[in-house]
Structure 1
Amino acid sequence: MTIRLRTTEDLPACVEALAQVQAADRYPVDWPDDPDGWLTPAGLTSAWVAVEADAVLGHVGLAGDGEIVRLFVAPAARGRGLAGELLDAVRAAVQSPLKLEVSSEGTAAIAFYERSGWRRVGSSRAQWINAAGEAALMHHYVSP
């Protein structure tokens, strides 16, 4: 398994892995009309992938303000420490503190971040609707 910068050629495999994540976890809550565009949001400065045998197992992006975005690991690849390795790749590239947001529905993600030393610094309501049909409650974290 290798972690490297994402290339444009990786996008179809990233979309395939994202589809598996969405089916398992509803992340993203609603499947985007343009999944390539969703993986490449405005403000994205870099993105990394975890790959093995030409399959994308995980993905993470970094926005210009030090925000972690679009972090996911394919269900079949979980339990191998890939999320931590992807975050380590970002930390190696950026020496300043990082931040991220996670929906309160993402209990496994929240547990992972808190086990990894990320600190919750606040919460707010998002502009999008969660599975319960209400404005999603987003928790804000900063890196250790």
Structure 2
Amino acid sequence: MTIRLASIEDHAALAGIFLSVRRSTFVWEDPASFQLDDFASATEGELIHVAETAENGIVGFISLWEPEQFVHHLFIANGHRGKGIGRALLDDLARRQPGPFRLKCVAGNSVALSFYKRSGWAQIGEGETDGRPYLLMELSKTDESTLSSPST
């Protein structure tokens, strides 16, 4: 697996992952409310890195709002979760950027919350957006010894 900076040529594949994952996992939303062009507006101005394999092409991405070190999106394509791709993207981010990092996770998204907790993130707050409760998470430990092996 290779992790690299996204290019404009990647955006169609990234938009497809963004749409299909949201429709299949965001069960608290109407799947019909998600559109292919949501990706462009949802990631505008963000730093995006992709995870890519020779066999499958792009299998995931992470987007970061750099001014606040805020992880806005971490998406792994359907059929590729549970293979270490999300962790590799987070580890790569921690190697490239100083941290600490923050993100918001829908409180009812138990799968994502479990993943973040296993990956060293801690809850530092909570709030509500659009009537939906979320947990504010932070990863402050970016010591190289805590990261898994490099993925690039």
TM-score, normalised relative to structure 2? 0.80
- Which of 69, 72, 79 pairs up with 1:69? 72
79-88 vs 16-25, which moves further: 16-25
CA distance in 1, matches of 2:35, 2:108: 19
Partner of 1:115: 118
**Structure 1 residues 73, 27: CA separation in 2 closer, same or farther (over 3 Å shift)?**
farther
The offset of 1:55, in angstroms, is: 2.5
**Secondary structure in 1 matching 2:68:** coil
**Structure 1 residues 27, 73: CA separation in 2 closer, same or farther (over 3 Å shift)?**
farther
**Secondary structure in 2 matching 1:18:** helix
Equivalent positions of 1:88-103 (< 5 A) are 88-103=91-106
The offset of 1:38, in angstroms, is: 3.3
The offset of 1:17, in angstroms, is: 1.4
- Identical columns (%): 26
Equivalent positions of 1:6-45 (< 5 A) are 6-26=6-26, 29=29, 30-32=33-35, 34-42=37-45, 44=46
TM-score, normalised relative to structure 1? 0.84
Consecutive unaligned residues in structure 2, runs of 5 or more: 142-152
**Structure 1 residues 27, 66: CA separation in 2 closer, same or farther (over 3 Å shift)?**
farther
**Structure 1 residues 113, 36: CA separation in 2 closer, same or farther (over 3 Å shift)?**
closer
Partner of 2:5: 5
**Structure 1 residues 12, 27: CA separation in 2 closer, same or farther (over 3 Å shift)?**
farther
Aligned amino acid, residue 48 of structure 1: H
